[in-house]
Structure 1
Amino acid sequence: MIKQTVKSALKISANIFPESCAKAHYFIRFRKRLNLTNPTNLNEKIQWLKFNELDNDIYTLCADKYKVREYVSSKGCGEILNDLYGVYDNPQDIDYRALPEKFALKCNHGAGYNIICSDKARLDIEKTNRQLNRWLKEDFSSLFVEPQYKKIERKILCEKFIENARGGFPDDYKFYCFNGRPYAVMVCVGREKGRPKFYYFDMNWHPLPFEDTLELISKNDYPAMPDGFDKMKHYATQLTSDFKFVRADFYLIAGRVIFGELTFTPSAGLDVTLQQADIILGSQLTL
Structure 2
Amino acid sequence: MQRLKKHYYAYVSPLKLTSELYREKLGRVPDLHHPKTFNEKVLWLKHFSDTSRWTQLADKYRVREYVEQCGLGWMLNELYAVWERPEEIDLTLPQLQGREFVLKTNNGCGDVILVSDARTADLKSIRHKMKRALRYHYGFKSAEHHYMFIKPCIIAEKMLHENPALSCSLIDYKFFCLDGEPCYCMVCYDRQGHGGFNTCLYDAHTWEPLNHYINPSHYKQGQRQIPRPASLDRMLDAARRLSHGFPEVRVDLYEIDGRPVFGELTFTSAAGTSPRFTEEFQRMMGDRITLPEEALPNRMPTGFVLFRHPERSGSEA
**TM-score (normalizing by structure 2):** 0.81
Q: Give the whole-Å Cα distance in 1 for the aligned partners of 2:7 and 2:278.
A: 26
2:58 to 63, 66, 69: 63
Pairing 1:123-162 to 2, within 5 Å after superposition: 123-162=121-160
- In structure 2, the partner of 1:103 is 101
2:286 to 270, 282, 286: 282
> What's the offset of the Cα at 1:9?
4.2
- In structure 1, the partner of 2:241 is 238
Code of the aligned partner of 1:179: D
> What's the offset of the Cα at 1:126?
2.1
Pairing 1:112-261 to 2, within 5 Å after superposition: 112-120=110-118, 123-166=121-164, 168-191=168-191, 195-202=196-203, 203-208=205-210, 209-211=212-214, 222-261=225-264
Deviation sequence 1:196-249 (CA, Å, 0-9, x none): 221111111111232279978xx9x73432211111011001110021100000
- In structure 1, the partner of 2:15 is 19
- In structure 1, the partner of 2:307 is none
Q: Per the alignment, in what secondary structure is the counterpart of residue 32 of structure 2?
A: coil
Count residues with an aligned counterpart.
279
Structure 1: any 5+ residue segments left out of the alignment? none
In the alignment, does 2:82 pair up with 1:84? no
> What's the offset of the Cα at 1:185?
0.8
Deviation sequence 1:26-45 (CA, Å, 0-9, x none): 11111211211111211111
Q: Is the 8 A contact 1:54 1:147 kept in 2?
A: no
Q: Is the 8 A contact 2:198 2:221 kept in 1?
A: no
Q: Is the 8 A contact 1:22 1:144 kept in 2?
A: yes
Q: Is the 8 A contact 2:104 2:111 kept in 1?
A: yes
Q: Is the 8 A contact 2:200 2:225 kept in 1?
A: no
Q: CA 1:184 to 1:90, structure 2 compared with 1: closer, same or farther past 3 Å? A: same
Deviation sequence 1:60-113 (CA, Å, 0-9, x none): 110111100000000100000001111111111111133245211111123223
Q: Give the whole-Å Cα distance in 2 for the aligned partners of 1:206 and 1:121.
A: 46
Identity of aligned residues (%): 32
- In structure 2, the partner of 1:47 is 43
Structure 2: any 5+ residue segments left out of the alignment? 292-317
Q: Is the 8 A contact 2:181 2:243 kept in 1?
A: yes
- In structure 2, the partner of 1:10 is 6
2:271 to 268, 271, 277: 268
Q: Is the 8 A contact 1:55 1:147 kept in 2?
A: no
> What's the offset of the Cα at 1:178?
1.1
Code of the aligned partner of 1:109: N
Q: Per the alignment, in what secondary structure is the counterpart of residue 143 of structure 1?
A: coil
In the alignment, does 2:33 pair up with 1:37? yes
- The farther-off stretch of 15-24 and 93-102 is 93-102
Q: Is the 8 A contact 1:178 1:244 kept in 2?
A: yes
- The farther-off stretch of 43-52 and 160-169 is 160-169
**TM-score (normalizing by structure 1):** 0.88
Code of the aligned partner of 1:204: T
C-alpha RMSD over aligned residues: 2.4
> What's the offset of the Cα at 1:253?
1.0
More helix by share: 1
Deviation sequence 1:97-147 (CA, Å, 0-9, x none): 332452111111232232233455664332321221122222212120001
Q: CA 1:111 to 1:14, structure 2 compared with 1: closer, same or farther past 3 Å? A: same
> What's the offset of the Cα at 1:7?
3.2
Q: Is the 8 A contact 1:107 1:113 kept in 2?
A: yes
Q: Give the whole-Å Cα distance in 1 for the aligned partners of 2:101 and 2:50.
A: 31
Q: Give the whole-Å Cα distance in 2 for the aligned partners of 1:159 and 1:120.
A: 13
